[in-house]
C-alpha cells in the first residue's frame, strides 16, 4: 500500500489548504429554505418541527426527500433543490 | 541510511546474468573472515554464501549508494567506502577483495546490468521516498478515496479541462528540464502580484501536460508575460477578448516537436497545446486571475485555454524573432495580446500587389472597420500565400511597408455617423488619411499547412501599445 497522495500546491498559497465552508447568510429574510429528509426513521418528526418554526417566521419552506439514506441523493434531486431554494437544512445520521 | 557495514558490500539483482555469475564467489570472499553484505534489489533469496543478505527491494541502499550498474563491489573500512568497481572485472575484484585467485575460472570481464534505481521513472520516486527531493511549495495531502483529478477541480486549480495532478515525482521530473534553481523568483504574477518561482511554474507545467523539455519555453513565456510593457494585468482584467498568445521561434520549436504546419493554430500538438496552457495556469493559480473575479472579459476567446504555435521559418523571410531584433537561430518566445483567428480567403491573387490588398482589406476589420490606432494585428501568412511574395522577391519588411501604405484609410468613411453607424473616429478626422494601426502595430509570421491559399489575421487588444499591451520577445534559455 502506498502512502497518501500528496500534490504540490500550484497557487501562491494565499488561502489555507482546508477549503472554507460556504458563507452563512446573515439572515433568512426573503430566502427560500429547503428541508431534505434523508429517509431515516422518525427524521420527519424533527424536520416537521423545523418546518413549523421556519413557517412561523414567515419563511417559505420546500420539502424534499431522498429515496434512501443509504445512498447519496440522486443528481436530479440535487439539481432540483439547487434550482428551487436558497439554502437547505439536512439532517445527517441518527 | 545507516552507515555502511565494514568488509565487502555487493549490490546485485537476480535478474542480472553477471550477478548470478559472481554469486558462487560470495562464499569464497568470506573464507578469510571478511564480512560480506549483499544488498539485493529483486530477490532476497539471492546471495547464498554471503555473511548477510539485505532485502533492498525498496532500493533504499542502492539509491543511497548511487549504484548505477550491478553487480557493484565496494570495500568499506570504518564505515566508509574506500573503493568500488562494477560489473565483473577479475583484476578489480581481486584487488578490492585482496584475494589473488578470485574467480580464476570465470571470464576476465563481463559487463554488468543497469541498476533498478535507474529504471525509467524510478529515480524521481526514490528521490521523493527517501527525502532527497525538497520542495518549497506546500504539500496538499488528498483523501485516500479522493480521485486526484477531481481533487484538482475541487480546489479550483483547473481551467475547466482536466489537469495532470502535480505529484512531487512529476514536479521533480519537470524540474529536470531546466538548469535553473527551483527557488529562483522569476517575477510577480498579476493580478495578485504574487512572487512566482521556477518551482511554481514547473507545478503548473505538470498540470498543463508539459514534458520537461518544454519547461524552458514555458519559463520564457511566463517571464515575457511579466515584462511591464506586455501589460498582463490589463490583458487579464479587460472586458475585451484577449489572452497571451505565444509564438515560438528558433530550432527549439522543432526540437521539442512543436507544430508550425498543418493546423498550426489548432488542436492536436502536445507542445503547442500545453505550453500555452501552462502560461494561463500560472496566471490563474499563482496570479489568482480567474474569470468572473479579476478576469472581466465579456466574451473571452477559446485561445484563453491555450494559444501557442511555432513560426514556419523560411530562408526567404526573416522570422519574427529577427524582425524583433534577435539573431537568426536564437530561440525566442514572442507574446501578443491576441483575440481570435479571422480567416482570410484569397484563392485568386497571384501577384503580391493583389494579395497585399486582400490582407489590408481584411485587416480593417480589427476592432471595427471604422476604428483605427486601437488594436494591433498579428498576420499569419500560410506557405501558399507566402510563396506569392517569395516568387516576386518581397521580403517580410516589404510586405509590412506595403500594408502600412494600404492601411492609410479615408477618415471620411470612418468618423462617427458615417455609413449610418454611430461608432467611429472623432469628427475631427474627417478629410484626413488615418493609419489603421499604430507604428509597430503589425506583426507578420509564417505558419500553416502546405495546401490552402488562406491566411489569418489575429486581432490584438483594442488597448494595444503603451496604453495597454505591446508585444514582447524573450530569449529562451536552458
Could you tell me which residues come within 8 angstroms of residue B163 by beta carbon, excluding any fewer than 6 positions away? B149, B152, B157, B207, B208, B209, B281
- Residue in A7, A12, A19 closest to B192 by CB: A12
**Which candidate from A8, A12, A17 shows the least CB-CB separation from B194?**
A12
CA distance B216 to A31: 53
| Grid cell for residue B2 | 545507516
Answer yes or no: are the C-beta atoms of B54 and B38 closer than 8 Å. Answer: yes
Q: What is the pLDDT of residues B348-358, one digit of tens each?
A: 999 999 999 99
Of A21-25, B131-135, B250-254, B338-342, least confident by mean pLDDT is: A21-25
The confidence band for A1, taking pLDDT boundaries of 50, 70 and 90, is very low
B371-386 pLDDT, tens digit each: 999 999 999 999 999 9
DSSP characters for B111-123?
--EE-GGGSTTHH
Q: Quote the cell numbers at residue A91.
A: 439532517
CB contact under 8 A, A9 and B151: no
Question: The C-alpha cell of B391 is what?
Answer: 516568387
Ordered by start, the domain boundaries in chain B are 7-119, 149-475
Mean pLDDT of B221-226: 98
What CATH code is assigned to B7-119?
3.40.30.10
Comparing CA positions, the residue from B297, B298, B294 lying closest to residue B284 is B294
Q: Which residues of chain B are within 8 Å of residue A7 when distances are taken between CB atoms?
A: 139-140, 142, 148, 151-152, 165-167
Test A10 with B157 for CB contact under 8 angstroms.
yes
Closest CA to B249 of B447, B439, B384, B400: B447
Helix (H, G, I), strand (E, B) or coil at B433: strand
The grid cell for B302 is 477559446
The pLDDT, as a whole number, for residue A94 is 66
Residues A15/A41, Cβ–Cβ less than 8 Å: no
B193 interaction partners in chain A (CB closer than 8 Å): none
Burial A14-42 (b: 16+ CB within 10 A, else e): eeeeeeeeeeeeeeeeeeebbbbbbebee
CB B4 within 8 A of CB B36: no
Share of chain A above pLDDT 90, in %: 64
Retrieve residue B363's grid coordinates: 485587416
Which residue has cell 494585468?
Answer: B233
Total number of residues shown for chain A: 94
Cα torsion through B324, B329, B335, B341, rounded to 10: 100
Mean pLDDT in residue range B213-235? 97
pLDDT value for B2: 59
B366-382 b/e (C-beta count within 10 Å ≥ 16 → b): bbebbbbbbbbbbbbbb
User: Residue B1 pLDDT more than 60?
Assistant: no
Q: B266-278: per-residue pLDDT in tens?
A: 999 999 999 999 9
Tens of pLDDT along B97-123? 999 999 999 999 999 999 999 998 899
Instruction: Check if the beta carbon of residue B64 is closer than 8 Å to that of residue B87.
Output: no
* Rounded percentage of chain B residues whose pLDDT exceeds 90: 97
Is the predicted pLDDT of residue B70 greater than 90, yes or no?
yes
Check pLDDT > 50 for residue B68: yes
**Does position A58 have pLDDT exceeding 50, yes or no?**
yes
Task: For residue B265, report the phi and psi dihedrals to the nearest 5 degrees.
Answer: -90, 5
Q: Tell me which chain B residue has its CA closest to the CA of residue A17.
A: B140
CA distance B234 to chain A (A): 20
**pLDDT for B418:** 97
- Between CA B466 and CA B470 the distance in angstroms is 6
**Alpha helices, H only, B239-370:** 252-255, 270-285, 320-323, 352-363
Residue A18 to chain B, least CA–CA distance (Å) = 9
Rounded to the nearest 10 degrees, the angle between the axes of helix B168-175 and helix B122-129 is 120
Cβ(B378)–Cβ(B460) below 8 Å: yes
Which chain A residue shows the shortest CA-CA distance from B203?
A10
B200 contacts A12? CB cut-off 8 A: yes
ipTM given for this complex: 0.88
Indicate the average pLDDT of chain B: 96
Angle of helix B215-225 versus helix B198-208 axis, rounded to 10: 120
CA B82 – CA B3 distance, rounded (Å): 13
Mean pLDDT of B380-405: 98
In Å, what is the CA distance from B350 to each residue of B166, B384, B450? Answer: 52, 10, 16
In order, the DSSP letters of A35-85 are: EEE---TTHHHHHHHHHHHHHHTT-EEEEEE-S-TTSPPPHHHHHHHHHH-
Which residue bears the cell 517580410?
B396
Is A78:A38 a contact under the CB 8 Å cutoff? no
Enter the pTM of the model: 0.90
A5·B142 Cβ contact <8 A: yes
Judged by a CB distance cut-off of 8 A, whether residue A22 touches chain B is: no
pLDDT at A42: 87
Q: Which of A1, A7, A13 should be substituted to probe chain B, the one whose Cβ sees the most B Cβ atoms within 10 Å?
A: A7
Write out the E strands in B78-210: 80-86, 88-89, 109-110, 113-114, 139-141, 185-189, 194-197
- Rounded to whole angstroms, how far apart are CA atoms B95 and B84? 10
The answer for residues whose C-beta is within 8 angstroms of residue B203's C-beta and 6 or more apart is A8, A9, A10, B137, B166, B171, B174
- Nearest CB neighbour to A10, from listed B139, B148, B166: B166
Q: How far apart are CA B248 and CA A77, in angstroms?
A: 50
Q: Which residues of A touch B203 (CB under 8 A)?
A: 8-10
Residue A29 touches partner B, C-beta closer than 8 Å: no
Q: Does A94 lie at the interface with B, CB-CB under 8 angstroms?
A: no
Query: pLDDT-derived band of residue B238, with 50, 70 and 90 as boundaries?
Result: very high
Cβ(B71)–Cβ(B15) under 8 Å? no
Q: Do B155 and A19 touch (CB under 8 A)?
A: yes
| A1, A2, A9, A10: best to mutate for the B interface, most B CBs within 10 A | A10
Q: What is the pLDDT of residue A2?
A: 59
CB–CB contact B192 A7 (8 Å): no
Nearest to B140 among A9, A12, A14 (CB): A9
Residue for cell digits 499604430? B438
Label the pairing between strands B36-40 and B52-55. parallel
Is the Cβ pair A17, B281 closer than 8 Å? no
Contact B137 A8 (CB under 8 A): yes
Q: How many CB pairs below 8 Å do chains A and B form together?
A: 74
pLDDT at A93 over 90: no
In whole angstroms, what is the distance from residue B450 CA to residue B384 CA?
6
What the block records as the C-alpha cell of B159 is 481551467
In the beta sheet, which residues pair with residue B77? Answer: B80
Q: What is the mean pLDDT of residues B301-322?
A: 98
Ordered DSSP codes for B27-55? HHHHTTS--EEEEESS-TT--TTSSEEEE
C-alpha cell at B10: 555487493
Residue A14 has pLDDT above 80, yes or no: yes
Amino acid at each position: 500500500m502506498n502512502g497518501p497522495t500528496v500534490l504540490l500546491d500550484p497557487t501562491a498559497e494565499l488561502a489555507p489548504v482546508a477549503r472554507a465552508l460556504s458563507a452563512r447568510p446573515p439572515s433568512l429574510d426573503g430566502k427560500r429554505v429547503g428541508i431534505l429528509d434523508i429517509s431515516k426513521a422518525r427524521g420527519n418528526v424533527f424536520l416537521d418541527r423545523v418546518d413549523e418554526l421556519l413557517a412561523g417566521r414567515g419563511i417559505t419552506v420546500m420539502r424534499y426527500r431522498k429515496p434512501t439514506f443509504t445512498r447519496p441523493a440522486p443528481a436530479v434531486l440535487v439539481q432540483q433543490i439547487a434550482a428551487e431554494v436558497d439554502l437547505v437544512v439536512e439532517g445527517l445520521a441518527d | 541510511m545507516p552507515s555502511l557495514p565494514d568488509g565487502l558490500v555487493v549490490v546485485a539483482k537476480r535478474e542480472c546474468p553477471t550477478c548470478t555469475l559472481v554469486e558462487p564467489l560470495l562464499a569464497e570472499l568470506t573464507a578469510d573472515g571478511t564480512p560480506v553484505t549483499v544488498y539485493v534489489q529483486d530477490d532476497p533469496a539471492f546471495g547464498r554464501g554471503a555473511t548477510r543478505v539485505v532485502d533492498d527491494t525498496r532500493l533504499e541502499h542502492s539509491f543511497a549508494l548511487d549504484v548505477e550498474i550491478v553487480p557493484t563491489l565496494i570495500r568499506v573500512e570504518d564505515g566508509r567506502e574506500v573503493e568500488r568497481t562494477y560489473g565483473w572485472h577479475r583484476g578489480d575484484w581481486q584487488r578490492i577483495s585482496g584475494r589473488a585467485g578470485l574467480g580464476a575460472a570465470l571470464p576476465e570481464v563481463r559487463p554488468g546490468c543497469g541498476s533498478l534505481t535507474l529504471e525509467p521513472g524510478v529515480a524521481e520516486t526514490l528521490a521523493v521516498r527517501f527525502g532527497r527531493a525538497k520542495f518549497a511549495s506546500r504539500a496538499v495531502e488528498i483523501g485516500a478515496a479522493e480521485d486526484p483529478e477531481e481533487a484538482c477541480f475541487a480546489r479550483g486549480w483547473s481551467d475547466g479541462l482536466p489537469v495532470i495532478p502535480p505529484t512531487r515525482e512529476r514536479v521533480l521530473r519537470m524540474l529536470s528540464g531546466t538548469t535553473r534553481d527551483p527557488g529562483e523568483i522569476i517575477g510577480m504574477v498579476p493580478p495578485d502580484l504574487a512572487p512566482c518561482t521556477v518551482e511554481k511554474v514547473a507545478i503548473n507545467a505538470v498540470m498543463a501536460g508539459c514534458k520537461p523539455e518544454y519547461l524552458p519555453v514555458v519559463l520564457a513565456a511566463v517571464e515575457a508575460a511579466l515584462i511591464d510593457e506586455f501589460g498582463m494585468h490589463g490583458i487579464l482584467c479587460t472586458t475585451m477578448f484577449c489572452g497571451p498568445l505565444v509564438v515560438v521561434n528558433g530550432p527549439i520549436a522543432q526540437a521539442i516537436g512543436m507544430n508550425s504546419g498543418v493546423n498550426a493554430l489548432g488542436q492536436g500538438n502536445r507542445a503547442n497545446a500545453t505550453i500555452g496552457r501552462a502560461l494561463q495556469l500560472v496566471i490563474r493559480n499563482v496570479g489568482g486571475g480567474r474569470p468572473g473575479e479579476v478576469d472581466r472579459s465579456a466574451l473571452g476567446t477559446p485561445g484563453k485555454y491555450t494559444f501557442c504555435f511555432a513560426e514556419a521559418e523560411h530562408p526567404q523571410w526573416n522570422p519574427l524573432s529577427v524582425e524583433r531584433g534577435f539573431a537568426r537561430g536564437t530561440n525566442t518566445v514572442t507574446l501578443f495580446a491576441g483575440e481570435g483567428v479571422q480567416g482570410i480567403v484569397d484563392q485568386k491573387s497571384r501577384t503580391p500587389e493583389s494579395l497585399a490588398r486582400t490582407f489590408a482589406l481584411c485587416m480593417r476589420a480589427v476592432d471595427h472597420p471604422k476604428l483605427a490606432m486601437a488594436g494591433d494585428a498579428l498576420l499569419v501568412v500560410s506557405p501558399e500565400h507566402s510563396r506569392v511574395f517569395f516568387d516576386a522577391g518581397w521580403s517580410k519588411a516589404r510586405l509590412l511597408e506595403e500594408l502600412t501604405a494600404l492601411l492609410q484609410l479615408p477618415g471620411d468613411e470612418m468618423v462617427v455617423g458615417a455609413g449610418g453607424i454611430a461608432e467611429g473616429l472623432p469628427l475631427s478626422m474627417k478629410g484626413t488619411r488615418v493609419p489603421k494601426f499604430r507604428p509597430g502595430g503589425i506583426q507578420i509570421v509564417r505558419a500553416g499547412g502546405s495546401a490552402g491559399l488562406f491566411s489569418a489575421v489575429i486581432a490584438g487588444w483594442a488597448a494595444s501599445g503603451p496604453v495597454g499591451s505591446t508585444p514582447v520577445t524573450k530569449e529562451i534559455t536552458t
